[in-house]
C-alpha cells in the first residue's frame, strides 16, 4: 500500500494520542488493523482500514482546527494541569472543543503573560510554526515601571547570555500612542500606569522576554503577546476564542514554506549524531546546549529523563529500589522540545516540572533509580527515537557506550570531582559554605562510585571518544572546543 501513512501518524491524526504515545500503543500490542495486531511503522489507509485501540474502533482523521485565543493572566497554557485552577482549554467553547478530540497550544505563554495564543489539533503544523529554522516572529507589548535607561537598552540590544545561549531581540521600540490605546482597551487602567515597549522575538527560549529584562535590571510588570507571525491580536478581548479564517491560515502557512535559512553546506548534510558523556556536574548539559545552539543542532540531556522519573517516584511514594514500582511511571514522563529543538522540558501528566528536578533530594536518589536495568531499558528506545534524523547532540552518562554506540562523534568531558563540586556549589549559591561544598563533593563521589561500578551501563569513556579536558576552562572555552571538534568532523563527512 504505497499511498498509506504510518500507523502512529494515522492514530495521531485521529486524535488518539501524540505520535510518540501512539507508537508506544503499537509497541504494547494495544492496536489492531482490520482485527490483526499492528506493527510499528506499518502503513495503513485510514479511509479503508479499520483501526482499533484496546478493541475500540477509531474514527477516521478528524477535521483540522486552527484557533486564536486571547489568553488572560492566571490561565495556564498546558492542556491539563491538576495544580491549575484554569487552563486554556477551559476557555474554548464546547462547540469548538467537540470538533477536536485532542486540542493543544502552539507554544506557550507563561501563567502571568497574556495575549495571542494559537490552538490546533494539527501536530505537524504546530511543529512547522515553532521550528527555529523558519524564525516565525512573535511580538509583545512589555509594560515596565519606568523608561529604559541607555545602559539597560544597550544591554537588551546587544543580547543577554542565558544558560541556553545568547538571547537576542529582533526588535525593540517604545509603544506608540495607537499602541497605548489598544492596550488600554485590552487591559484597562493598568496600561496607563506603566511604560510600554514593543519587543519582537525570533527565538523561543523559555520566558525569554522576562529573563532578558531582568538581566538588564528592570522587571516586567505586564507582558502581552500581540502578534504571532502574520496574525495579530486585533480587536480580540482577553478570554476571546475564534477560528482562523482560510486567509489567515494561508498567510501563516506561507511563513513555514520558505527554504531554511541555513548555510548551503549544512543544507547538503544530514548532520551528525553527537554523544557527550561524563560524570555528574561535568558540564555535559550546559556545554551540549550551547554547542547545539551555535551549530544549529537539536539537543537532549538524557539525565533529565532519570531526574524526572526520580522526582515522580518520590512524589508518588514509589519504592526507589523496586523497578516494578518504577517502570510503570515511565509512560507518565516525556521530554518536550522548545522552539529551538532543545529537549529540555520535563513534562509529567501534561505539567512542566523541569524546575523541580535540580534539588539535593533528587541528586541523592537519582542513581538509585537509574541503576535498575529494567528502568534503563524502558527509557532506551525513547532516547534513540529522539536521536533519529541526526543533527543532534545528546548528553548523558552512557550515551556513547549504550544509547548511541554508533554515534557519528563521541565526546567525553573530563574534570575532577573537586572542580565539579565547586561548580555545583556556585549554581546553588553556596560556594562560600565550606560544609555545603564538602557535602556536594561527597555526594558526587558517591554517585560516581555507583555509576562506574553498576552492572548495567556503567560510566566509562566510550571507545573512540575525544576526551575534552575542562579543568580550569570557562564555559565559553569548552563550548568553543566542542564546536570546533564537531565542525571538523562535519567537514570530513561526505556530503549527502
Residue pair 383/370 in contact by the 8 Å Cβ criterion: no
Burial (CB count <10 Å: 0-12, 13-18, 19+), residue 63 = exposed
What sign for the dihedral angle of Cα 198, 203, 207, 208?
negative
What sign for the dihedral angle of Cα 173, 88, 341, 376?
positive
Which run of H or of E encompasses 334? strand 333-337
Q: In degrees rounded to 5, what are phi and psi of residue 230? A: -90, -5
Give a three-class secondary structure readout of 470-492: CCCCCHHHHHHHHHHHHHHHHHH
SS3 384: helix
Q: How open is the CA angle 25-26-28, to the nearest 5 degrees? A: 65
Give the whole-angstrom CA distance, residue 26 versus residue 492.
39
**Grid-cell match 527515537, residue found:** 385
Q: List C-alpha distances in Å: 240 to 70, 86, 145, 265, 280.
A: 5, 15, 28, 45, 47
Give the whole-angstrom CA distance, residue 467 versus residue 413.
6
Which one of 13, 90, 110, 277 is the catalytic residue? 110
Cβ atoms < 10 Å from Cβ of 418: 13
Active site residue 338: no
Q: Which active-site residues does the annotation give?
A: 110
Amino acid at each position: 500500500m504505497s499511498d498509506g501513512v504510518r500507523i502512529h501518524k494515522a492514530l495521531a491524526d485521529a486524535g488518539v494520542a501524540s505520535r510518540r504515545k501512539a507508537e508506544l500503543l503499537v509497541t504494547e500490542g494495544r492496536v489492531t488493523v482490520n482485527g490483526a495486531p499492528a506493527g510499528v511503522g506499518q502503513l495503513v489507509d485510514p479511509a479503508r482500514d479499520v483501526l482499533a485501540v484496546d478493541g475500540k474502533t477509531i474514527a477516521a482523521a478528524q477535521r483540522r482546527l486552527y484557533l486564536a485565543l486571547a489568553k488572560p493572566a492566571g490561565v495556564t497554557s498546558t492542556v491539563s494541569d491538576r495544580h491549575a485552577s484554569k487552563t486554556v482549554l477551559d476557555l474554548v467553547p464546547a462547540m469548538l472543543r467537540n470538533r477536536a478530540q485532542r486540542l493543544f497550544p502552539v507554544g506557550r505563554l507563561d501563567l502571568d503573560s497574556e495575549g495571542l495564543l494559537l490552538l490546533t489539533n494539527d501536530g505537524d503544523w504546530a511543529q512547522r510554526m515553532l521550528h527555529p529554522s523558519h524564525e516565525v516572529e512573535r511580538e509583545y507589548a512589555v509594560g515596565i515601571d519606568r523608561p529604559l535607561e541607555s545602559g539597560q537598552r544597550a544591554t537588551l540590544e546587544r543580547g543577554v547570555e542565558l544558560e541556553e545561549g545568547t538571547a537576542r531581540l529582533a526588535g525593540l521600540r517604545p509603544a506608540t500612542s495607537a499602541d497605548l490605546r489598544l492596550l488600554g482597551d485590552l487591559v484597562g487602567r493598568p496600561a496607563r500606569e506603566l511604560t510600554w515597549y514593543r519587543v519582537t522575538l525570533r527565538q523561543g527560549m523559555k520566558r525569554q522576554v522576562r529573563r532578558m529584562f531582568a538581566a538588564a535590571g528592570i522587571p516586567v510588570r505586564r507582558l502581552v503577546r500581540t502578534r504571532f507571525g502574520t496574525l495579530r491580536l486585533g480587536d480580540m478581548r482577553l478570554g476571546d476564542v475564534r477560528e482562523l479564517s482560510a486567509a489567515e491560515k494561508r498567510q501563516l502557512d506561507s511563513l513555514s514554506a520558505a527554504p531554511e535559512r541555513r548555510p548551503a553546506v549544512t543544507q547538503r548534510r544530514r548532520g551528525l549524531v553527537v554523544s557527550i558523556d561524563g560524570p555528574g556536574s561535568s558540564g555535559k548539559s550546559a556545554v551540549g546546549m550551547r554547542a547545539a545552539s551555535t551549530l544549529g543542532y537539536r539537543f537532549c540531556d538524557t539525565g533529565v529523563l532519570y531526574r524526572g522519573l526520580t522526582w515522580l517516584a518520590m512524589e508518588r511514594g514509589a519504592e526507589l529500589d523496586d523497578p516494578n514500582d518504577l517502570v510503570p511511571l515511565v509512560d507518565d514522563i516525556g521530554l518536550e522540545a522548545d522552539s529551538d529543538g532543545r529537549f529540555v522540558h520535563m513534562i509529567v501528566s501534561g505539567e512542566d516540572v523541569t524546575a523541580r528536578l535540580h534539588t539535593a533530594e533528587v541528586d541523592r536518589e537519582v542513581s538509585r533509580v537509574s541503576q535498575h536495568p529494567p528502568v534503563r531499558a524502558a527509557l532506551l528506545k525513547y532516547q534513540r527515537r529522539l536521536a533519529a534524523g541526526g543533527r543532534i547532540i545528546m548528553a548523558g552518562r552512557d550515551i556513547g557506550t549504550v544509547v548511541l554506540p554508533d554515534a557519528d562523534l563521541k565526546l567525553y568531558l573530563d574534570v575532577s570531582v573537586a572542580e565539579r563540586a565547586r561548580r555545583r556549589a556556585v549554581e546553588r549559591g553556596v560556594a562560600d559554605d565550606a560544609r555545603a561544598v564538602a557535602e556536594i563533593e561527597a555526594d558526587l563521589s558517591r554517585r560516581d562510585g555507583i555509576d562506574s561500578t553498576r552492572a548495567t551501563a556503567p560510566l566509562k569513556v566510550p571507545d573512540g571518544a575525544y576526551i575534552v579536558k575542562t579543568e580550569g576552562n570557562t564555559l565559553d572555552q569548552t563550548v568553543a572546543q566542542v564546536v570546533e571538534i564537531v565542525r571538523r568532523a562535519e567537514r570530513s563527512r561526505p556530503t549527502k
